[in-house]
Amino acid sequence: MTQQSWVEQALGSLDAGGIVARCVIVSVKGSAPRAMGADMMIRSSAQSGSIGGGSLEYQVAQWARDKLNEVPHSGFKRHLRDFALGPDLGQCCGGHVSLMLEVYGPACRHELAALVSAPASHHEVNSQTFPTAASIQVTGAQFEKKSGALILPLSDNLTKLYIYGAGHVGRALVDVTHHLSLDRVWVDEAQARFPDIVADDITLVPAKDMSLIAKNAPPKAIHIIVTYSHLFDEAITHALLAKGDFGHIGLIGSKTKKARFDKRFQAAGLPQELIDRVQCPVGLSAVKGKSPPHVALSIAGQIAVWLEEA
């Protein structure tokens, strides 16, 4: 199960009887805390998402709540506003951002609901949808200030993350990757190995042979292998190397384990260039702690680096 899109969040707020605002960064010049397309949902007494934190986020939330009070309960309103991060806000970034704020009342529900059911080939423009030509790929945010047209994918194209192993490290890793842009799949050999309660955006996959899940994973996924068995670890890694279309493989263990596995994979005729891409030990070397929370934080940091490189 993937995280809710901004449209689904807005609909949830409207269904709960409240007006909601969405603020999106539509252009960035110079240094800024977040890139174009970063957004934040603002309600009268709560908010979610982030456009960078600090003074910018605080003032934008106040601005949005003022606009919530100005818009009739059934209405819709769009605003554009520029912020110089240094002079205007006292932030050290020194860049310049343009923001679009849209306020949605109950009358917008039909239009927003239509966006949820729009086919994947449609993209959002000012809360409307339009069919893109087959030859056009909208891969990032685009904004035309003169016309006020914002073009974004309707929902995030989340990177698949497969976590193999529901032991102490696997459980800690699930906890600390919650806010990363990931579609998480958690794999172990039996349902009983998973905790009774898990986040609703995680897909649980009990599989006696976890390597079969690896063989059928989509291309470019990230795979983190933290099972309790070297035999399981080797089988899963072998399956991924034989398939060859993975994004990244992170394997828990030591350099000695990596050398031993490498020899077996070489003997099996697997391509050396793929074998060399297996990161073992996985994680950021700067994190020295060996407790499950430390190991999980180290791995999550490595995943964040991979996402930045994508």
Task: Answer whether residue 1 is part of any domain.
Answer: no
Task: Answer whether residue 108 is part of any domain.
Answer: yes
Q: Is the pLDDT of residue 64 over 80?
A: yes
The parent domain of residue 31 ranges over 6-152
pLDDT at 2: 45
Same-domain status, 203 and 248: yes
Count the domains in the chain: 2
Tell me which range, 22-26, 131-135, 159-163, is most confidently predicted by mean pLDDT. 159-163
Mean pLDDT of the region 145-155? 57
Q: How many helices (H) and strands (E) does the chain have?
A: 9, 15
Residue 77 β-bridge partners: 103
Q: Is the pLDDT of residue 30 over 80?
A: no
Same-domain status, 118 and 180: no
Task: Answer whether residue 128 is part of any domain.
Answer: yes
In this structure, the number of other CB atoms found within 10 A of the CB of residue 204 comes to: 15
pLDDT at 124: 43
Lookup: tokens for 140:
């990032």
At residue 86 the predicted structure's pLDDT band, cuts being 50, 70 and 90, is low
- Here the CATH number for the domain that contains residue 263 is 3.40.50.720
Task: Answer whether residue 304 is part of any domain.
Answer: yes
Task: Single out the residue in 121, 152, 183 at which a domain terminates.
Answer: 152
DSSP string for 56-93: HHHHHHHHHHHHHHHS-TT-EEEEEEEEETTTTT--SS
pLDDT at 132: 33
Task: Answer whether residue 195 is part of any domain.
Answer: yes
Percent of the chain, pLDDT > 70? 81
Same-domain status, 172 and 142: no
Contacts of 221 (CB under 8 A, 6+ apart): 159, 160, 161, 162, 246, 247
Task: Answer whether residue 175 is part of any domain.
Answer: yes
Terminal CA-to-CA distance of the chain, rounded, Å?
22
The more confident residue out of 135 and 226 is 226
At residue 120 the predicted structure's pLDDT band, cuts being 50, 70 and 90, is very low
Nearest to 277 by CA among 235, 222, 228: 222
- At 212-262, the pLDDT tens digits run 999 999 899 999 999 999 999 999 999 999 999 999 999 999 999 999 999
